[in-house]
Amino acid sequence: MNTKELAIRTLEELPENATWEDVQERINFLVGIRKGLRELDEGNGIPHDCVKEEFAQWLTG
């Protein structure tokens, strides 16, 4: 599905009373997801073990 098709589908899935802010929020959300998936595909993700270590440090303060 290309970008235009995804945008149209996204708009069609919003409720009839959606505001411009709702539209903007949904599109920004999808952009963020696509950016994150692209970064993972490029090998720019953070390994799970590193994330677990960081959370452990945050929780122990």
Residue 17 pLDDT: 97
| pLDDT, tens only, 6-58 | 999 999 999 999 999 999 999 999 999 999 999 999 999 999 999 999 999 99
pTM over 0.75: no
3-class SS string, the chain: CCHHHHHHHHHHHCCCCCCHHHHHHHHHHHHHHHHHHHHHHCCCCCCHHHHHHHHHHHHHC
Label residues 12-21 b or e (16+ Cβ within 10 Å = b). eeeeeeeeee
**What local confidence, expressed as pLDDT, does residue 1 receive?**
85
- On the question of pLDDT at 61 being above 90, the answer is no
At residue 53, the pLDDT reads 94
Give me the pLDDT at residue 18, please: 97
